[in-house]
Amino acid sequence: MRGVCAALLFGGVIGAGCGGGIRPTATINAPDSADQVLVQMSTYITGEGIVRARVRADTAYMYSNTQSAELRGVHVTFYDDRGTQTSTLTSREGTYHTRSGEMEARGAVVVLTTDGRTLRSEVMRYSEARSEVSSDKAFTYDGPGKHVEGDGFTSDPGFRNVVAKHPHATGGTFTLPNQ
Contacts for 70 with CB less than 8 Å, ≥ 6 apart? 29, 31, 34, 60, 61, 63, 93, 94, 95
Is residue 26 situated within a structural domain?
no
Chain segment 114-171, per-residue pLDDT in tens: 999 999 999 999 887 888 889 999 999 888 888 889 999 998 877 778 888 888 766 5
Per-chain mean pLDDT for the chain: 79
Residue 142 near residue 117 (C-beta atoms within 8 A)? yes
Chain segment 103-114, per-residue pLDDT in tens: 999 999 999 999
Is residue 11 situated within a structural domain?
no
Q: Is the pTM above the cut of 0.75?
A: no
- Domain encompassing residue 50: 33-170
Chain segment 27-71, per-residue pLDDT in tens: 445 556 889 999 999 988 887 888 888 999 999 999 999 999 999
Is residue 166 situated within a structural domain?
yes
Is residue 176 situated within a structural domain?
no
Give the count of domains, the chain. 1
- What letter represents residue 170's amino acid? T
pLDDT at 170 (0 to 100):
63
Is residue 25 situated within a structural domain?
no
Residue 139 near residue 168 (C-beta atoms within 8 A)? no
Q: Terminal CA-to-CA distance of the chain, rounded, Å?
A: 41
Is residue 179 situated within a structural domain?
no
- C-alpha pair distances (Å), 10 with each of 2, 27, 63: 16, 18, 7
